[in-house]
Structure 1
Amino acid sequence: MRPLFLLFLCSCLLCRAQNQDSVKNDSITQLDEVILLDALKTKNATGITKSDVIAAKVFQNYSPVEMVSAINQIPGVYVLSGALNTNRITIRGIGSRTAFGTDKLRLYYNDIPVTDGSGFSTIEAFDLENISQIEVIKGPKGSAFGANLGGAIILTPKEALGVSTNLSNNFTVGSFGLLKNNLSFNHFDGKVRVGVQYGHLETDGYRENSDFNRDGLLLNATYMINQNNRIGLLVNHVDYKAHIASSLGITAFTENPKQAAANWAGVEGYESNKYTILGINYRHNFGKKLENSTSIFYTYLDHFEQRPRPLGFLDEFTNGYGIRSRFIGNFDFLNRSAKYTAGFEWYKDHYNWSLFETLQQPENGSLQGNEFADNSELRSQVNTFGTLLLPITEAFEVQLGLTINKTQYDFQDLFNTGINNKSADRTFKAILLPSLNLAYELSEEIRLVGNVSRGYSNPTVEQTLTPDGVINPDIAQETGTNYELGTEMYFDQRRLHINLVAYQMDVRNLLVAERVAEDQFIGKNAGKTKHRGIELTIDYLWDINPNFQLSPFLSYTLNDHKFIDFVDEGESYSGNPLTGVPKQRRTAGVQLRIFTNFYWNISHRHVSEIPLTDSNTLSSEAFTVFTTRLGYQKKLTDKFTLGADFGINNIANESYAESVLINAGSFGGEPRYYYPGNPRNYYGSLRLGYRL
């Protein structure tokens, strides 16, 4: 029996994230950049550092709104999504105990770091339709990308494929008032490359008080000065407003998951954001053996949040700026080519936030009252890094890496004066983060890789402050050591691809967010955790005949994450499962192509129970969600193409929690652990393309 049939049976239960190329990029795929299989994929993680790259083939399993679903197809990576504007990315359990948002990893957009000075990243600021690929480095082994415990995510914006000038528009409508439009212009003439995308998204949302409205503009341009010099410009601006439904207790979640939390609904709570990235990149080749890439960048975030009592209105803005430079070279070593990178990344931002009283109205939400807090914090980070890749033999390679991090916070209380002033600074000692990668090729089809690396995580703003709003001098950086062993295998003339990885990460000085009010957390270092797991991806490409192609895929994650030494408020939780991490996750499906014009993809995602309390007395329920998408595209003339897509999410109308909070407090009511997932919903897209 061909391996396909066995894999097909397995794929009904499990999942996948890696892909293979099988069709060349013709004028259709260049024109509207919707590709039946992956476009050519590149990795920014140089050398033998293992990373996962997903692109068009994975994106095509989901709606144009679903960046989170695409990322969730990567084993070891789990995004808990409470709403389009409320996402928490965890990698191998790192970040699972963060209350809201994503920290403990570095997010890059076209080699520009977009993680703020306290370590928070905002994936919802980016439009999936403007992304050509997403690369994920799991764990601290990416020396050139921060060596954070969670790793790094690198987003690459779209650009023209080959010498061409293309204009395309993709219009999507769907359930819950979904309307999305993406207009894209791409040009490349061999010297000038320009990509401009404008996107608009609006939806009423499934839940009450969950309206979302976003506009975004992306400009990505490069100019080839000559063969050795290239300059690039990146501008990304996003403006969105999102109402907040917040989490629910078990009674509300069971009886009416559509409702919003009463306190947020009562004030019609929302957040609005204006987010801008501006970057200039210059690349220079010194010769065949050395090149440099240097970027200077500026980021700006203007955030306003209308919140219920006692939280108060939040008004904040952040100005960030920095420089990142990498030298990439090679030299002769044992009659082979050895490679190295060396560089630095300096980032500084100025974060300002003020709080105002929430004045309740009988109707139409709330009013902004008097200011009761005004704070400012200067945050700076310097990462110096280097890697050295040595080919010991034809089959055996060794890569050494080192990152040195230096972090400083300077907090200013601008509201209180005199003896009540709480201004202070916190400077962490420089931390050394080494990495060792090994790779051995048993044959052309089987490759073994291994890694030992050290990583860190900085405390967030809330974690550096005490309940009185004073810098905590005792808070320390979270550190950990990662051990990893994996294999990549190809069989059946490279049509069957299997990737298997086992890892263990030991984390010390665990940063714990202790909830002291409904939306107030403080941090402390409390013990150790052990993160162990197995990650498996399988995909098979079966060309049944020139007009019929079947590609099943599978991705599976098995987690064994535990507290090793954890005592909180006199209670010992040592030996308990790590809060916020499911034991198992799987995604599986089949992609079908008939001729070159029609495709049909079906997949499912399964998530097991998630511990919600450190005492392990409460867990969320497991769930399985099925998704399908089919589409057709046709080259009408040499210049025009037409495409149409239709998709169904949550086919079986499963009731489940798409995201959860851990250790939720009651504060006079039922603890609110659950963010309801969307019920069965539909979407359809119409795509027009024109080649100038």
Structure 2
Amino acid sequence: MKYFLISILFITSFAFSQKKMATDSITKLNEVLLYQKVKIRHLNGIVPSSIITIQSFKNSSPSELSAHLNKISGVYVLSGALNTNRITIRGVGSRTPYGTDKVKLYYNDILVTNGSGFSTIEAYDLENLNAIEVIKGPKGTAFGANLGGAIVLRPNENLDPVTAFQNNVTVGSYGLFKNNLSFNHKTDKLSLDLRYGHLNVEGFRENNQYKRNGILLNTAYVINAKSKLSLLVNHIDYTAHIASSIDLDAFNDDPSQAAFTWKSTKGYEANTYKLTGFSLSHKFSEQLSNTTSVFYTHLDHYEPRPFNILDEITDGYGFRTQFKGDFYLNKKVANYTFGAEVYKDDYNWSTFENLYEENNDAGSLQGTALSLNKEKRSQFSAFGTFTYPFTNGFSAQLGVAINKTSYTYQDLFNSGSENKSGKRSFDAIVLPNLQLNYNFLKNQLLYANVSRGYSNPSLEETLTPEGVINPNIAQETGINYELGSQLQFLSTKLKLNTSIYQMNIKNMLVAQRIGDDQYIGKNAGSTKHQGFELDINYNYLISPKLKLMPTISYSYSNHKFVEFIDNDANYSGNPLTGVPKHRINTNMHFQWLSGLSLNTAYTYVSSIPLTDANTISSASYNLLNITIGYHKQLSKSLSFETSVGIQNVTNTNYAQSILINASSFGGRAPRYYYPGTPLNYYGSLQLRYRL
């Protein structure tokens, strides 16, 4: 924590010692400095959300999405590997064993969260994105009102006429090779962005190789002054070998080793993912517009594991429409939105014996079938908001969302009394949302929010230990209370954003492990999520040729079980498992007029409780990354940009992800830890040719 205090003193003294500031072209959108044109969207009504942009992406390796999301206060990504990420927002989702749920993920206006609530953000290439917007908590009425919130990925979109080719290649430690080739074309009528991406990493751990290829087409055509048609196609193939988690002794002695059984099976996952979406935007009048999207997703997943082999196919279909309008009420302009979202998917999965022990050390070998299943999942959401400015400085927004979820499970393997088919339909849930916004001075904002959110149980959580539908499992629900501010000082050069919140969640879903790959769910109590978030951005012109842009984000998370009794154990009052109490991210960014830049990034993460009893915790850690970049316009048409980076400068042995409540099988120690990458290097070169 001493590093945090030093950073605060440095930033504060530097800021308030300056009395006269020069103007520049850098703009601030909520919490992040922007360096190029980005289309501003108001996705979250009148309460601010958090946005990170393409310039922030350049300050770290383009192969690791988690490093960029972790710059946002309140958001913590635990990354066990490039294919294993768990996103938690204000503690929500921390108890999920693997992957990300309780957070909705969108690619533009297209929902890419599957029917059971899981999202795979790691499937998307960071270099294909222009920005990432995060709505923390259930206050995003139009984006599902999930307890964790929503994340919206924005693909690159040119706002000015251009025809250009661009290639960016990155090489680095542990066999890192990444290449992104793109063609961009923009006219008054047509916008086209076509990209091919390749990523290959050997990894520092055993059985840790990762390979991905992807093609992205993002195009739009202006039909007339009122209508625009858009097409998005994203195809990804990736194979990721799985090193899995290790126990404490292995973590301390040799973190590069893989878990023994995963190494023996040469375990991996192979995925083919397709997304196709059409969107039509139409402006009926100056007061009313609509955007409607239809989309299809397909995932083919094959995963040999020590305990069995999983083969699954998911086909998803969706529709989303949103109207926006305004009208005069008492001589003031009132705004409204309303719309609906429908998502259905067919999930087919089967498991097979893994005969790796009989395969002469060659790894996994598929045996006889163990199960054959199908699940149809359906979600319907309707939403609407009404915003009214009572005065020039004070406005309020009232929103409401309605969700209806149902599952139909078919056991295609067993018959008669052994068959476990069943249905589960949840009652429609109403999710109100009230937002208040007060601008008491120019560039000084106070806001408040009260909102209700929910989370659906995952597939495993809907089943009993016998594998049949559990009719008693309920959705998690919670109420979020939040106060915040966005303050600007020194001619808007210093920006200070704060928020304090409390979220009370009941019917807490607990995924209890009862076997190697067997989890059951139950509603086991309630939690209280209290926290404070601070973001500081300062933009200081040291000289006409040098600019300093320091940033700090700090998260304080006081999250506890209010009531949690698991069998005979009472964990009420204990800190919530899987959440660090303190988290700090600081960046010192120097930008020279010559095109040279230097960025140092420091991260502190406090200890994390690993068990509900709080008997074991991970160690706190500090990380330091350094990036040096240079940009040069060689001619009117040709430019290049290069950067080199050193990550984990101090070669810290730390847990980049953890597995909470890890079980012990066969007398072996529990495997809680996913080690982070030690000291490593990377270098990038980007060439851009504009016709």
Mind listing any 5+ residue stretches in structure 2 that lack a counterpart?
1-5, 14-22, 28-32
Report the equivalent of 1:416: 414
RMSD between superposed Cα atoms in Å: 1.5
Q: Secondary structure at the match of 2:460?
A: helix
Query: Bigger CA drift: 631-640 or 55-64?
Result: 55-64
CA distance in 1, matches of 2:619, 2:101: 25
- Taking structure 1 as the reference length, the TM-score comes to 0.95
Equivalences for 1:480-559 in 2 at 5 Å? 480-559=478-557
Report the equivalent of 1:690: 689
Structure 1 residue 57, shift from structure 2 partner: 2.9
Report the equivalent of 2:285: 287
CA distance in 1, matches of 2:300, 2:381: 26
Report the equivalent of 1:352: 348
Q: Secondary structure at the match of 1:75?
A: coil
Contact 2:137/2:147 (<8 A) preserved: yes
Report the equivalent of 2:679: 680
Q: Secondary structure at the match of 1:265?
A: helix
Q: Secondary structure at the match of 1:226?
A: coil
Aligned residue-pair number: 669
Structure 2 residue identity aligned to 1:215: N
Structure 1 residue identity aligned to 2:79: S
Mind listing any 5+ residue stretches in structure 1 that lack a counterpart?
13-20, 26-34
Structure 1 residue 580, shift from structure 2 partner: 0.3
Report the equivalent of 1:272: 270
Structure 1 residue 545, shift from structure 2 partner: 2.6
CA distance in 1, matches of 2:7, 2:44: 35
Q: 1:369 aligns with which of 362, 367, 370?
A: 367
- Identical aligned residues as a percent: 53
Report the equivalent of 2:57: 59
Check 1:427–1:290 CA distance in 2 against 1; reply closer, same or farther (3 A cut).
Answer: same
Report the equivalent of 1:637: 635
Equivalences for 1:319-334 in 2 at 5 Å? 319-334=315-330
Equivalences for 1:357-506 in 2 at 5 Å? 357-360=353-356, 361-506=359-504
Contact 1:171/1:182 (<8 A) preserved: yes
Structure 1 residue identity aligned to 2:362: N
Structure 1 residue 533, shift from structure 2 partner: 0.1
Structure 1 residue 10, shift from structure 2 partner: 4.8
CA distance in 2, matches of 1:372, 1:98: 25
Report the equivalent of 1:670: 669
Q: Secondary structure at the match of 2:205?
A: coil
Q: Secondary structure at the match of 1:169?
A: strand
Structure 1 residue 589, shift from structure 2 partner: 1.6
Report the equivalent of 2:81: 83
Check 1:195–1:483 CA distance in 2 against 1; reply closer, same or farther (3 A cut).
Answer: same
Q: Secondary structure at the match of 1:366?
A: coil
Structure 1 residue identity aligned to 2:688: G
Structure 2 residue identity aligned to 1:339: N
Report the equivalent of 1:220: 218
CA distance in 1, matches of 2:280, 2:269: 36
CA distance in 2, matches of 1:364, 1:419: 39
Query: Bigger CA drift: 514-523 or 476-485?
Result: 514-523
Report the equivalent of 1:9: 10
CA distance in 1, matches of 2:511, 2:143: 26
CA distance in 1, matches of 2:624, 2:328: 52
Contact 1:11/1:589 (<8 A) preserved: no
Report the equivalent of 1:157: 155
CA distance in 1, matches of 2:371, 2:527: 36
CA distance in 1, matches of 2:634, 2:495: 35
Report the equivalent of 1:625: 623
Report the equivalent of 2:128: 130
Structure 2 residue identity aligned to 1:245: A
Query: Bigger CA drift: 44-53 or 623-632?
Result: 44-53
Structure 1 residue identity aligned to 2:649: I
Check 1:489–1:347 CA distance in 2 against 1; reply closer, same or farther (3 A cut).
Answer: same
Q: Secondary structure at the match of 2:441?
A: coil
Structure 1 residue identity aligned to 2:283: N
CA distance in 2, matches of 1:172, 1:505: 42
CA distance in 2, matches of 1:665, 1:23: 54
Structure 1 residue 44, shift from structure 2 partner: 4.3
CA distance in 2, matches of 1:386, 1:663: 40
- Taking structure 2 as the reference length, the TM-score comes to 0.95
Check 1:282–1:569 CA distance in 2 against 1; reply closer, same or farther (3 A cut).
Answer: same
Structure 1 residue identity aligned to 2:670: P
Q: Secondary structure at the match of 2:615?
A: coil
Report the equivalent of 2:20: none
CA distance in 1, matches of 2:219, 2:160: 15
Structure 1 residue 8, shift from structure 2 partner: 6.7
What are the superposed Cα offsets for residues 1-45 of structure 1, whole Å, 9 maximum, x if unpaired? Answer: xxxx98572599xxxxxxxx95479xxxxxxxxx98354352341
Equivalences for 1:170-249 in 2 at 5 Å? 170-249=168-247
Structure 2 residue identity aligned to 1:687: Q
Report the equivalent of 1:312: 308
Check 1:622–1:467 CA distance in 2 against 1; reply closer, same or farther (3 A cut).
Answer: same
Structure 1 residue 56, shift from structure 2 partner: 2.1
Equivalences for 1:110-121 in 2 at 5 Å? 110-121=108-119
Q: 2:339 aligns with which of 330, 340, 343?
A: 343
Structure 1 residue 519, shift from structure 2 partner: 2.5
Report the equivalent of 1:32: none
What are the superposed Cα offsets for residues 643-667 of structure 1, whole Å, 9 maximum, x if unpaired? Answer: 2110011001011000001000001
CA distance in 1, matches of 2:62, 2:34: 15
Structure 1 residue identity aligned to 2:271: N
CA distance in 2, matches of 1:636, 1:161: 23
Structure 1 residue 49, shift from structure 2 partner: 2.8
Report the equivalent of 1:16: none
Q: Secondary structure at the match of 2:461?
A: helix
Structure 1 residue identity aligned to 2:80: G
CA distance in 1, matches of 2:229, 2:421: 42
Structure 1 residue 596, shift from structure 2 partner: 4.4
Contact 2:528/2:562 (<8 A) preserved: yes
What are the superposed Cα offsets for residues 534-555 of structure 1, whole Å, 9 maximum, x if unpaired? Answer: 0000010012233110001000
Check 1:409–1:573 CA distance in 2 against 1; reply closer, same or farther (3 A cut).
Answer: same
Q: Secondary structure at the match of 1:672?
A: coil
CA distance in 1, matches of 2:159, 2:70: 27
Structure 1 residue 106, shift from structure 2 partner: 0.4
CA distance in 2, matches of 1:356, 1:248: 25
